[in-house]
Structure 1
């Protein structure tokens, strides 16, 4: 339960002794026989940890030292009661209680000595060692064993709680397969994933996880994408589409062409981010750690004063009586509930978020997002799909609509613009009988070509004006993007094209309002479109026609009003405003790597409803952390006062230390079962 051993970071929250993956594994495999983490461990300790804590160690083995100690203690107490006047006396009694003490006490004494040798004198282990050895010194053998026994049980429950809290994060580490099957000369060969080269062909059987990012060569395949998005809904991919490491092939054998090196895969970047998440400490964690370093030596000094000072002021001073009070005081003062339950609360929050496809880059961002007052969001790709679709087709009656659309489709096939893709998706297969001549792209206007000897012009309404083609309505009255069509120098009609609002965008805005969070939409799209989308979603403040620097200025205006701001975006263009905001949230999904690099929080499945979920997880985490702080201080403060006054025994001290720690741990892991 000592922060310096369980969490291997310095006061600035930087890792000091081991890799993040080692830390995750150590945290998930804490045992009563190996209390220290990476920092307390040399090669021997690492070997010992693997021997005692690995997959072979079940819960029963974790409890074994405590069970042995409990049995010996109960036998000793029974002998005290029935045979104290006959044979259970003297050295036999002392040795029996010592035997009961050692299974649970020796690991703590060892850690206390190691801490002292490293210069960390005032550790929790030292407090427990002094208190229990002192109890033996004054003949309070049962209480000395009981204190260490309950402390050991607390350590086991701590380990189980940490393992549970880290399970969602650690499960991500198991998503990346170590080996892949590649086809070499039409023969399947299993190789290390890290040794696969770009261009290799992976053969993926049903139920297998993909080890590297690639391009699907099979006609179709269905994948479980839970490792990347948190959602296990099948995602069907077609030939040529991108598939990512960590996806599970659900049906038939598929082939994938490797397009990214092992270390550069999307999953590798996610794992790297998860592994680094707990390195960024919340201010509350850093404060408690610093507080514990000051608090512990003060407690030791007070215990010395409780023992010696009454000699000068109390009649009939008895050293043993006042030493006992000091020992009780030391047991009560152990900061277990604080130094383990607080980080555990944040681990739980990060784990709960990961389970829901939300990745926090550090517990400090859980704190920050809990206090967000205004969520500023981009439009395209954040609240909308970023995929354009034809909404409406309007043609003048004397034109053959289907014939003109086929011509437009053939012409737009010359372009890779998203609008061209939307038209092609709407019209369908290109008519090979249409012959295009003199195809010309006019920058800022559109496309022009000759079809059947007549001019076909497809573009914006500025192109109509440029070529003197008249029309009898005001295009500014239509919100959507307009594609005007002219044939044979005459206006034929227009298409309206729009981005689709995401299915859960409205739910996201409604939930943000319930949380008391304001919403603002900023976009580079034209103002009428932005206002239309914002009004449809119930977002009052919206601004369009913005360049990246304009977005920065808008966020500065909000921050000038003393509002804490989270910005939600989906591309590298938003990097300046993401950096300026208090919390940058990226719609990471299966998209840009830049979003994962620059943002503080990544929503893996691009669902806007995860924005209020992330805020709610932050709020719940913060609430649990402060509940634990309050409970620990109140209970320990009360029992400390009783202990100093001689009104509390070792048994009350055990409750104040281990009992409160267990209650705090149980409270901290509640977040794992919460529905958001």
Structure 2
């Protein structure tokens, strides 16, 4: 099957999961493009050659069995079956010849052409036509299956907006999204797709985000919040301020990742491709041996009889069932995952995720919503009206969710406050000068580092705490609470059902981390970690015997750990660009329960792939032995090749109908 060979033999990226940014080398120059036109033909035209050959074959068989002896014989019979052969056999023979001239000898085109012409040579005309006919039918069936498997990806590609309505010179005009610049104002009408990432300038609207997240529930977005390309505006005309160029938008990034996913092959696919290169020539040599070697050992040797057995051997040897059903199985897995709001960056990760036995997770933004609210404020030497605006002014320079919560709480009280000499101390907090005074805002570790006495009481608070000091004297503190995501408990329970151990890492203090771990049932939890400490923890876990680690995170500081882990999983809906680029699997819905779904899809894909390998090898081996012993005809050979390929394809498309 042509496209089967094409799928297995065109440009392949080698991607080592342990070195996330390792080289990706194209092997396209070494491979041959065994393309076909069946998928390009429209409607009935694709089936016309098959219909003609089938009707002529049936008519010929009827004539062989029911017409008067001597009428349908000799050249009349040869011409009839030759005409029946040409519609399906000629395209295959031409491609086989072209590849033969290029030096690519052992292709299914050459094998099928030799086998069917050999059948004509020994006088088995109907069988020669039947082999090529069913081979072509198998190709058409395979094209339909591949197209179905790619449908999710094609549907995703179809969401690319073609135009953007941009404000220019006092008027709105339609232009290509590529021409829109950062900072431009665009208009999106109700029912239209958002063409670029932007900030909401209007009061708000409701958006269908299914194309990006797989989530059917509409999402309400308010003024000042981010709207992503690919969302569909459902309510009213809105205006957006463009924040990213089209090629840098979330939609463009997702499209690129999905398209690249099909080029990163799983080890099983790579093995089958290498195996078929060795397997096919060996079987061809065996076929030659079956034809010639018996001459030296069999007394009543008949060349045509042994040639017929060799031709059967050749038909069976075509590795179509393997080289199409395996890539098709992975296609189906990637498609099923994308429909569930999960992007695998390659089929190699579908394989690898099935081996994961330890899930390490970040807390904020992964298991919790990352939406912080100020809960309690306590003052010491200064009234809160004096130190809180200064702390909020300092935190306004930070992108951390905790800082945003303080800024939101302080409101317009920070207006006019100028911060000088701002310094962010990683894992500790912020330091700056306001009106000549040194202001510190951060955790207890920051106070200890700066020799500000705080006492033991603050360590017992279970919420996230931000301590503020003015000129190295304790001014007060704020407690800030984050909300656990609705399905976080479901996520941990799902992992435990699969016997996967869970570990949580966080920069928050240990009391906060322990509290979340207790609520969710997480096996191990570590707090008070700097970004480099997270890396060290994952390195320690990886050293444990027979441990395959997946890390789940969403922030910029998670990127090193995502790269270090065997499988990096990013929360893609609200996650940082750095985390998404580094990760191997992206959960677009930001739902931790999708971690278990991703593993289930990987296991279902692996199961189907190995079922197909067993089916193909088992049936081919049996019929090969029967063919060599003269106990199988061309009809059995057709089943061993095309029939098994069709069964494998039907099995592979099952994954697209499964519910996870």
Asked whether the two chains share a fold, i.e. TM above 0.5, the reply is yes
Q: Could you tell me how far 1:76 is from its partner in structure 2? A: 1.1
The 3 A distance-change label for structure 1 pair 498 and 189 is: same
Q: Distance in 2 between matches of 1:462 and 1:561?
A: 30
What is the CA deviation profile of residues 349-388 of structure 1, one whole-angstrom value per residue up to 9, with x for unaligned ones? 1111111111111111111111111111111111111221
Matched, 1:57 2:42: yes
Q: Could you tell me how far 1:481 is from its partner in structure 2? A: 2.2
Q: Could you tell me how far 1:492 is from its partner in structure 2? A: 12
Q: Distance in 1 between matches of 2:152 and 2:592?
A: 22
The 3 A distance-change label for structure 1 pair 438 and 204 is: closer
| Candidates 620, 634, 649, aligned match of 1:636 | 620
Contact conserved, 1:527 with 1:545, CA < 8 A, in 2?
yes
Q: Distance in 1 between matches of 2:173 and 2:564?
A: 49
Per the alignment, residue 507 of structure 1 pairs with 490
Q: Could you tell me how far 1:673 is from its partner in structure 2? A: 0.9
| Candidates 30, 34, 39, aligned match of 2:33 | 39
The 3 A distance-change label for structure 1 pair 447 and 594 is: closer
| Candidates 82, 89, 94, aligned match of 1:105 | 89
Q: Distance in 1 between matches of 2:335 and 2:121?
A: 45
The 3 A distance-change label for structure 1 pair 419 and 363 is: closer
Measured on the aligned residues, the alpha-carbon RMSD in Å equals 3.5
Q: Distance in 1 between matches of 2:415 and 2:649?
A: 74
| Candidates 232, 244, 250, aligned match of 2:234 | 250
Unpaired stretches in structure 1, ≥5 consecutive residues: 19-36, 397-403, 451-455
The 3 A distance-change label for structure 1 pair 593 and 85 is: same
Q: Could you tell me how far 1:600 is from its partner in structure 2? A: 1.1
Three-state SS of the structure 1 residue aligned to 2:516 is helix
Three-state SS of the structure 1 residue aligned to 2:59 is helix
Three-state SS of the structure 1 residue aligned to 2:370 is strand
| Candidates 283, 292, 297, aligned match of 2:276 | 292
Three-state SS of the structure 1 residue aligned to 2:482 is strand
Matched, 1:75 2:59: yes
Matched, 1:523 2:517: no
Contact conserved, 1:449 with 1:457, CA < 8 A, in 2?
no
Three-state SS of the structure 2 residue aligned to 1:245 is coil
Q: Could you tell me how far 1:161 is from its partner in structure 2? A: 0.6
Q: TM-score, normalised by structure 2?
A: 0.87
Three-state SS of the structure 1 residue aligned to 2:195 is coil
Q: Distance in 1 between matches of 2:343 and 2:415?
A: 52
Matched, 1:315 2:315: no
Matched, 1:559 2:560: no
Q: Could you tell me how far 1:244 is from its partner in structure 2? A: 1.6
Q: Distance in 2 between matches of 1:589 and 1:560?
A: 31
Q: Distance in 1 between matches of 2:389 and 2:113?
A: 83
Q: Distance in 2 between matches of 1:407 and 1:128?
A: 86
Q: Distance in 1 between matches of 2:446 and 2:585?
A: 43
Per the alignment, residue 238 of structure 1 pairs with 222
Q: Distance in 2 between matches of 1:187 and 1:535?
A: 57
Per the alignment, residue 22 of structure 2 pairs with none
Matched, 1:369 2:353: yes
Per the alignment, residue 347 of structure 1 pairs with 331
Q: Distance in 1 between matches of 2:407 and 2:615?
A: 64
Contact conserved, 1:344 with 1:669, CA < 8 A, in 2?
yes
Contact conserved, 2:5 with 2:323, CA < 8 A, in 1?
no
The more displaced of 200-209 and 290-299 is 200-209
Matched, 1:6 2:11: no
Per the alignment, residue 426 of structure 2 pairs with none
Contact conserved, 1:11 with 1:290, CA < 8 A, in 2?
no
Q: Could you tell me how far 1:576 is from its partner in structure 2? A: 2.5
The 3 A distance-change label for structure 1 pair 458 and 665 is: closer
Per the alignment, residue 156 of structure 1 pairs with 140
What is the CA deviation profile of residues 172-209 of structure 1, one whole-angstrom value per residue up to 9, with x for unaligned ones? 21221122222323433222221222233222121111
Q: Could you tell me how far 1:226 is from its partner in structure 2? A: 2.0
Matched, 1:133 2:127: no
Map of 1:407-426 to 2, 5 A cutoff?
Answer: 414=393, 415-416=395-396, 418-419=401-402, 421-423=404-406
Q: Distance in 2 between matches of 1:106 and 1:435?
A: 80
Q: Distance in 2 between matches of 1:459 and 1:11?
A: 49
Per the alignment, residue 585 of structure 2 pairs with 601
Q: Could you tell me how far 1:475 is from its partner in structure 2? A: 3.0
Matched, 1:658 2:642: yes
Q: Distance in 1 between matches of 2:419 and 2:139?
A: 76
Three-state SS of the structure 2 residue aligned to 1:386 is coil
What is the CA deviation profile of residues 36-74 of structure 1, one whole-angstrom value per residue up to 9, with x for unaligned ones? x98246xxx8xxx4xx745x713x443322122111111
Per the alignment, residue 618 of structure 1 pairs with 602
The 3 A distance-change label for structure 1 pair 435 and 71 is: closer
The 3 A distance-change label for structure 1 pair 11 and 293 is: farther
Contact conserved, 2:570 with 2:583, CA < 8 A, in 1?
yes
Matched, 1:197 2:181: yes
Contact conserved, 2:375 with 2:480, CA < 8 A, in 1?
yes
Per the alignment, residue 168 of structure 2 pairs with 184
The more displaced of 315-324 and 195-204 is 195-204
Q: Distance in 2 between matches of 1:8 and 1:388?
A: 51
Q: Could you tell me how far 1:165 is from its partner in structure 2? A: 0.7
Matched, 1:545 2:556: no
Three-state SS of the structure 2 residue aligned to 1:39 is coil
The more displaced of 381-390 and 364-373 is 381-390
Q: Distance in 1 between matches of 2:342 and 2:496?
A: 20
The 3 A distance-change label for structure 1 pair 245 and 38 is: farther
Q: Could you tell me how far 1:313 is from its partner in structure 2? A: 1.4
Q: Could you tell me how far 1:449 is from its partner in structure 2? A: 11
| Candidates 562, 566, 573, aligned match of 1:578 | 562
Contact conserved, 1:411 with 1:436, CA < 8 A, in 2?
no
Contact conserved, 1:571 with 1:592, CA < 8 A, in 2?
yes
Q: Could you tell me how far 1:232 is from its partner in structure 2? A: 2.7
The more displaced of 414-423 and 554-563 is 414-423
Q: Distance in 1 between matches of 2:564 and 2:453?
A: 47
Contact conserved, 2:580 with 2:586, CA < 8 A, in 1?
yes
Q: Could you tell me how far 1:653 is from its partner in structure 2? A: 1.0
Contact conserved, 1:181 with 1:189, CA < 8 A, in 2?
yes
The 3 A distance-change label for structure 1 pair 436 and 407 is: farther
Three-state SS of the structure 1 residue aligned to 2:324 is helix
